[in-house]
A and B are shown apart, each in its own frame.
Chain A
Amino acid sequence: AQSVTQLGSHVSVSEGALVLLRCNYSSSVPPYLFWYVQYPNQGLQLLLKYTTGATLVKGINGFEAEFKKSETSFHLTKPSAHMSDAAEYFCAVSGDTGRRALTFGSGTRLQVQP
């Protein structure tokens, strides 16, 4: 069984500030971890994913995340927020070599203030 916990349903940052969205997971098997972004009334777009190998993963739009097994975390960061980053962000986990459906966290809404 897997689960994902996203701390903070809402995060607000100023434009140009660091973005940090937290994600902790639990999985009985080595996890595949994902971050998705969702804009209003749209589907999900993959930001980045961790499967195996390098624990620091770089994704699109300047986002990156680090897999920390000891902390069971996969926090998403971006050095400098842009207004266009305002959206809903979902962390997700998949076990069994990633072939099963994803289990999603509750989501974090990112607001970027001018």
Chain B
Amino acid sequence: GAVVSQHPSRVICKSGTSVKIECRSLDFQATTMFWYRQFPKQSLMLMATSNEGSKATYEQGVEKDKFLINHASLTLSTLTVTSAHPEDSSFYICSARASSGGTNTGELFFGEGSRLTVL
């Protein structure tokens, strides 16, 4: 099946620094990617919808200046956590929806997740 890769899988940073997480669709094009956040032992909460070539749409309560999302190509979306604080520590998961025309049209695929720890 289609593969979505996230990098890094784990990152530890100091408070106040910025961290970038990449989400790549390896063998398909994705016009839409979704970013989720998962707290320990909890479900996934949608943070934002990322559309290639346009601004991301953020869910209510998610600070867009805190969580910068860029979707510059059909295979890459990035989430940058700016001025990270310990409360930003979480598991971040991206998902990508295959664009029309391929064998996986409309399918949604998830990355492996990125665990962020802010000290």
Contact = CB atoms under 8 A, between A and B. Distances in A.
A34 B34 CA distance: 16
B106 A98 contact: yes
A104 B43 contact: yes
B43 A107 contact: yes
A90 B43 contact: yes
A86 B42 CA distance: 17
Interface residues on A, range: 10 to 19
Contacts of A36: 110
Interface in A93-114: 98-99, 101-107
B25 interface: no
B112 A43 contact: yes
Nearest to A94: B108
Interface in B56-115: 91, 93, 95, 97, 106, 108, 110-113, 115
Interface of A: 36, 41-46, 90, 98-99, 101-107
